[in-house]
Amino acid sequence: MKLTFSPASPFARKVRIAAIELGLIDQIELTTITVAPGQANAEYEKINPLKKLPVLILDSGDVILDSYVIAEYLDELAGGGRLIPASGPLKWKVKTEHSLLQGMLDSMLLCRYENAMRPESLRWKVWSDDHWNRVWSGMARFDSDAAMLSRPLDIAQIALTCVLGYADFRFADRPWRKAFPNLDAFHQKMLERSSVKISLPPPA
Amino acid sequence: MKLTFSPASPFARKVRIAAIELGLIDQIELTTITVAPGQANAEYEKINPLKKLPVLILDSGDVILDSYVIAEYLDELAGGGRLIPASGPLKWKVKTEHSLLQGMLDSMLLCRYENAMRPESLRWKVWSDDHWNRVWSGMARFDSDAAMLSRPLDIAQIALTCVLGYADFRFADRPWRKAFPNLDAFHQKMLERSSVKISLPPPA
């Protein structure tokens, strides 16, 4: 299998961590792809019209997206119920948390595009403030959820790790550690995993 | 159960159609909520920090998001494997198609925000063109997928219906019917379902 990948993509990082934790990383070739808003990539658009990372390309040629569906696919390949609970109330809790974290990552990328890629004269602070508020409110919610932060490893915890790593990478001036000490402790603990450490984004 | 809802939201429409098709709509109260970028909604942000529609609020008070996870939840409630194949290659195909369609809807909303809500002097055509291209490329892909367009009803077909309905609602000047005659025929056929007809967006 091939995974389209960039070391800067928090979505690709999530899948990479999941694949390592599931013992599947040796079956996956990471293929580095460059995508950016406003820049065409005709070859990759044939694979994914959304021009987003990551997608998983199976040996059959079938393509799987998005990052959550890839994680589900890998989880099933590893026996099922490993990173996504197979049943019960925790199943819907983890999925819901993951959707919230996915939306937080989307908002972070929108902030990044607004403040780093859009021409300076066209930036709209109302927009980026709104999206950053969503990220911050989401962080506040997880900071106060001791049960979530201390469960056995699951896909929501991996996504939260990628949110925090991306905050460090692209928003180093936002003091999330000071505001959310429980998230700080969680992140420290997650960094003890080699899957998390090896996949840290490069220096910004 | 309560579903936060707006008649203009294609994501809420998708869940509504799914609930009708699964025979569950009578158990769901639609609660109309107004959300927009740059406009606070403190009460709703407590329910969903992303300030997005829809979420499903269970009688227990538990909240389920996003629209795809809600569709999964309702599908399971209705016995499972009804709108999302429970196993086999079609499972990953439908999930992947749904993710692509979800991304197309995200891009359509980004175009809408750019061209209708952002102050005119701050608009960046490169951005909205890029996102519209993703929508158009996605439509082209589905237009050429006769098997997808003629399968028994599933969540990807419902999402495609919502993409096309949202194109009519917010992008009436884009000639998708002329460019994609197979999508036109598919949309006509879907409109024979009362779930699809009753949930059409209001006049723009």
Chain segment B82-138, per-residue pLDDT in tens: 999 999 889 999 999 999 999 999 999 999 999 999 999 999 999 999 999 999 999
pLDDT bracket for residue A119 (50, 70, 90) = very high
* Among A52, A106, A122, the residue to mutate for chain B (most B Cβ within 10 A): A122
Q: With 90 as the cut, is the pLDDT of residue B20 above it?
A: yes
CA distance A172 to chain B (A): 22
CATH fold, domain A89-193, is: Glutathione S-transferase Yfyf (Class Pi); Chain A, domain 2 (1.20.1050)
Q: Provide CATH code, domain A2-77.
A: 3.40.30.10
H or E, element range at A169: helix A155-170
Rounded Cα–Cα distance for residues A69 and A76 (Å): 10
Beta-carbon separation of B89 and A62 below 8 A: yes
Task: Identify the pLDDT of residue A184.
Answer: 98
Chain B residues near residue A103 by CB distance under 8 angstroms:
50, 52, 65-66
Q: Percent of chain A scored above 70 by pLDDT?
A: 100
Name the residue ranges covered by the structural domains of chain A. Answer: 2-77, 89-193
Beta-carbon separation of A50 and B118 below 8 A: no
Rounded Cα–Cα distance for residues B14 and B195 (Å): 10
pLDDT bracket for residue B203 (50, 70, 90) = confident
Q: How far is CA A61 from CA A2, A48, A51, A58, B93, in A?
A: 10, 13, 18, 5, 12
Nearest-CA residue of chain A relative to B127? Answer: A38
Q: What is the pTM of this model?
A: 0.97
Beta-carbon separation of B100 and A72 below 8 A: no
Task: Identify the pLDDT of residue B204.
Answer: 73
CB pairs under 8 A between A and B: 108
Asked if the domains B2-77 and B89-193 are classified in one and the same CATH topology, the answer is: no
CA distance B134 to chain A (A): 5
Nearest-CA residue of chain B relative to A128? Answer: B38
Average pLDDT of the residues in A169-181: 97
**Alpha-carbon dihedral of residues B195, B186, B174, A54, nearest 10 degrees?**
90
Q: Are A65 and A48 in contact (CB under 8 A)?
A: yes
Q: Say yes or no: ipTM exceeds 0.95.
A: yes
CA distance A40 to chain B (A): 8
Quick: pLDDT tens for B146-181.
999 999 999 999 999 999 999 999 999 999 999 999
Pick from A88, A62, A70, A64: nearest CA to A155: A70
* Among A69, A136, A160, the residue to mutate for chain B (most B Cβ within 10 A): A69
